[in-house]
Amino acid sequence: MMTTAKLLLHCPDKPGILAEVTDFITVNKGNIIYLDQYVDHVENIFFMRIEWELKDFLVPQEKIEDYFRTLYGQKYEMDFRLYFSDVKPRMAIFVSKMSHCLFDMLARYTAGEWNVEIPLIISNHPDLQHVAERFGIPFYLFPITKETKEEQERKEMELLAKHNITFIVLARYMQVISEQMINAYPNKIINIHHSFLPAFVGAKPYHAAFQRGVKIIGATSHYVTTELDAGPIIEQDVVRITHKDSIEDLVNKGKDLEKIVLSRAVQKHIERKILAYKNKTVIFS
């Protein structure tokens, strides 16, 4: 496939930004294949995602970022990221004991749906090692207690750095991530949880929801921040519940939602379609 460059940026909104960015690409013989932009008039912030083919592009691939920063980044006070389609993101999966999200992601990965590499799976329990072995992915066990948490997470971060991990997915990983790891991967740790939070907290949220006779259950995928389950939301979905649904039905429907919502979020991240600003996200189509 043709190698492309993907540029995502946000900056204070001013006249001429769109024209200058597109002119930079076309003057250098780049063929634009995707362009989307959005202006937040409340914050007065301009958001943009643009993708172009590099086949005949005059600027060498390794110099595009420096050229763009010098010509436009500084001028418009841009916060931008540049990605290339021939460089695959490297994803680490964290799991505990529940397998539904892990199986769904590995099935998509094995089927070639995602342009990503998964060098490893990390867990605080041995329960899902057989899943990793089935898919041929190295599995690393880091049992965690209150006393060992800091040391174990330090070892995990060393392992992530060794494998050049670019983002992390928490596939029902039942541990709170430390501030140190969050700061090392800002807006690069994706989590999934049931949308009952904070209404139904605790170990059995679906049981609590059943007792309340809820009519809708949901799931939310978001980037992890230091505020628990309050990071920028990437994807959400819901499903209807009736009086005929048992607790088991709620749990099964919830698991289906969780794996679908998580995989949608991961796919958008892999495709570089998410721009996080403050505690919200702009999701490009």
Tell me the CA distances in angstroms from 262 to 38, 183, 220, 241, one per residue in order. 25, 22, 8, 21
Determine the Cα–Cα distance for residues 225 and 188; give it in Å rounded to an integer.
Answer: 10
Bond prior to 15 in cis (omega within 30° of 0): no
Q: Is 229 a catalytic residue?
A: yes
122, two tokens:
């990390």
Structure tokens at 238: 């819901």
∠ CA(83), CA(233), CA(6), 5° rounding? 15
* Separation between Cα atoms, residue 190 and residue 192, nearest integer Å: 7
Distance CA 28, CA 84 (A): 17
| 36, 40, 127, 229: the active-site residue | 229
Angle at 215 between CA 209 and CA 218, to 5 degrees: 70
Residues forming the active site: 229
